[in-house]
Amino acid sequence: MKHVFFIGVSVVIFLAGVDGCTDMGSDVPPAPVVPTIIGIQPDSAAVGDTVTVNGSNFGNTQSSSSVLFAPGIQATIVPPWRNTSIVVKVPSGAVTGSVSVSVNGKTSNGFQFKTSAAVDTTVSFNARVLPILVANCAVSGCHSGNSPIANFDPSTYVGLRNGGFSYHQNVVIPFDSTNSGLMKMIRGTNNLYNLRMPQKGQYFTTGLPDSMIVTIGTWIKQGALNN
């Protein structure tokens, strides 16, 4: 609308409510959110070890997102998945190289990670299992000497594997700790005598500590080797 005022011979025109030619432009889509890795702690680990991938824009839930270790192997996630940190296990087959995070089809920068040699977790019979048996089973009045109880002598590898009258060679079943007679006796479960071994020594009233039971069980699961 135009308003016209005459002042003398001059004409002053004010324009109001008239749309100008200003171009407000079209809507600009937001920049895509891309995940970013800023570090991995520790930066070197063996297959099966747990590490933490730190960064941003990982999202608050995993959904279809993933963490890849060179040469493109997906890692197992240890929940919860967080927007700024992801705990993962180094996957089998991973090698030294780039680690990346994929979120909603967007892949992060690659971050260098060194896959180190795995720590030897093999349980040695002579170094770890035999000392437990000698100290707690092959003691005077039990499974030792010329006439050990049940003819079971665990003071040597051969004597242990022979098994005696009760379980015979099933006293130790390689790769099967659940059904091995030795494990049934030291756990005090499903055994022939409803007893928990040992019946003498410092662990007579409590049974062997869990750590010792796990050591013997792991040795059996690994094949019960004379190592």
Q: What is the pLDDT of residues 72-128, one digit of tens each?
A: 999 999 999 999 999 999 998 999 999 999 999 999 999 999 998 766 789 999 999
Instruction: Report the alpha-carbon distance of residue 164 to residue 173 in Å, rounded.
Output: 14
Q: What is the pLDDT of residues 70-81, one digit of tens each?
A: 999 999 999 999
The CATH number given to 36-115 is 2.60.40.10
pLDDT band at 211 (very low <50, low <70, confident <90, very high): very high
Q: Is 200 helix (H, G, I), strand (E, B) or coil?
A: coil
pLDDT of residue 50: 92
- Per DSSP, 222 falls in state T
- pLDDT above 90 as % of the chain: 75
161-198 burial, b at 16+ Cβ within 10 Å, e below that, comes to ebbbebbeeebbbeeebeebbbbbbbbeeebeeeebbb
Tell me the domain boundaries of the chain. Answer: 36-115, 125-221
Lowest mean pLDDT among 27-41, 95-109, 131-145: 27-41
Residue 103 confidence (pLDDT): 95
Q: What is the mean pLDDT of residues 9-38?
A: 63
For the segment 137-165, the average pLDDT, to the nearest whole number, is 93
- pLDDT beyond 70 at 221: yes
Specify the pLDDT at position 28. Answer: 66
- pLDDT value of residue 22: 52
Confidence of residue 129 (pLDDT cuts 50, 70, 90): very high
How far is the C-alpha of 97 from the C-alpha of 58, rounded, in Å? 21
Task: Identify the band that residue 27 occupies on the pLDDT scale cut at 50, 70 and 90.
Answer: low
* Main-chain dihedrals φ then ψ at residue 58, nearest 5 degrees: -85, -15
Task: Give the pLDDT mean for 202-219.
Answer: 93
- Taking 3-state DSSP, the helix, strand and coil percentages for the chain, each rounded to the nearest 5, stand at 20, 25, 55
CA separation, residue 107 to residues 52, 111, 113, 129, 223 (Å): 18, 12, 17, 48, 43
Structure tokens at 186: 């030291």
Half-sphere exposure of 124 (CA within 13 A, CB side): 5
pLDDT(6) > 90: no
